[in-house]
Amino acid sequence: MRARERWALGLAAACAAGTFAAAMTLGLPETTGGLAARILWSVRLPEALTALIVGGGLGLSGLLFQLVLRNPLADPYVLGVAGGSTFAAVGATLFLGTAAAGGGMALRGAAALVGGLLTLAGLMKLAGGKPETLLLGGVVANTAFAAGARMLTVWLSPEQLAYVTTFLVGFIPTPPTAIPLLLGIPCLYTLARFMPRGRGLDLLLLSDDEARATGLEVGRVRREALLLATVLAAAAVTLCGMLGFVGLVVPHLARLTAGRRHRVLVPASFLLGAAFLLAALTAGKLVGGSWLAPVGVYTSLVGAPVFLVLLVRSSRRELP
């Protein structure tokens, strides 16, 4: 690993650790009688762990989608994967309730995964390998699924409706600590799978024939990356709903700081994704005061301008 890459990874790790500490401690009420400790362990820790795992997972998911589809605009939301997952998860909520743990949660997760996978498979078949068609199809699917999810709200109970409204914007719940840890497994698996094989991911940037002739099992690696990216997005949706812009912006930030090699980009995207969502969580608490807007509002408010800046930077390199 080169010096710049080591520095970038160190910086990303420091950002993730710093924002994690901030999410845990900032604005903690000064009380006696162990209330602060209870809030710290029962509310702040599961919240911060959820943001860490979901943010990291979305960063990884976006990186893999952008790489495999060779499109810097690809992310689970643009591609409709999150929309499919959300529709399925809202449908599951209608029948199974809003539980953030237990069997309801597991079934909602399974529904989100199936919804995401079916959407991706359907769109890929429809697009026939054309990235533009895939992206446009994804945008259409996302809109349609969002409309479908809102339609389902007609049948929801007031409690379910409140939950789904927040779900559609994206929020950080306070589940039992074991839940984010459980959802951390696909993140850890993806990191363990692709960090040592970063050079193989690099080869996906060549033409398929050249990558195959250089020794890469292109089809297998691409399928595995797409599957894991969808699992990560579905896991994020299951827990936090539609969190926009994390998967889109974070891989670009990682490339800006950590360079181009996937051996470094994979962990950098995880760490920066975690830092991004933890920062949004903390900012929401500090800025919002007593009005706690769902964290998805903040990821979109920050993500949209950051993405526009990146877009303008890259377009300035080319004359119109």
Partner 1 sequence: MIELRKVHFAYPGAHRLLRGADLEIRPGEVVALAGPNGAGKSTLLRIAAGLLAPSEGEALLEGRPVESWSRVARAKQLAYVAQSPKTPEEWRVSEIVELGDYPHREQPPAPRPLAVRLEEVRRRLGLAPVWERRADSLSGGEAQKVSLARALVQDTRNLVLDEPASHLDLANQMVLFRSLSELAAQGRSVLLATHDVNLSRLFGQRLVLLNGEGVVKPMPEGAEEQGRLLRQAFGVAFRPVELSGTLCWFPDPRGERPASQTPGAGEGEEGGPAGPDGR
Smallest distance, partner 1 to C-beta of residue 235, A: 29
Smallest distance, partner 1 to C-beta of residue 89, A: 36
- Residue nearer to partner 1 on the CB measure, 30 or 209: 209
Half-sphere exposure of 157 (CA within 13 A, CB side): 8
- Residue nearer to partner 1 on the CB measure, 103 or 196: 196
Using alpha carbons only, what angle is made at residue 297 by residues 295 and 299, rounded to the nearest 5 degrees?
70
8 lies in the site for partner 1, by CB under 8 A:
no
Residue 194's nearest CA partner among 248, 269, 273, 256 is 269
Return the amino acid letter for 204.
L
Smallest distance, partner 1 to C-beta of residue 311, A: 15
Rounded Cα distance between 272 and 11, Å, is 9
Judged by CB under 8 A, the stretch of 144-152, 195-203, 244-252, 287-295 that binds partner 1 is 195-203
Half-sphere exposure of 280 (CA within 13 A, CB side): 28
Smallest distance, partner 1 to C-beta of residue 320, A: 17
Judged by CB under 8 A, the stretch of 34-42, 51-59, 200-208, 233-241 that binds partner 1 is 200-208
Q: Could you give the string, one character per residue 236-275, with x where binding to partner 1 holds by CB under 8 A and - elsewhere?
A: -------------------x----xx--------------
Smallest distance, partner 1 to C-beta of residue 129, A: 15
For partner 1, the binding residues in 204-243 under the rule CB under 8 A are 205-207, 209-210, 212-217
159 lies in the site for partner 1, by CB under 8 A:
no
Residues that bind partner 1 (CB under 8 A): 199-200, 202-203, 205-207, 209-210, 212-217, 255, 260-261, 317
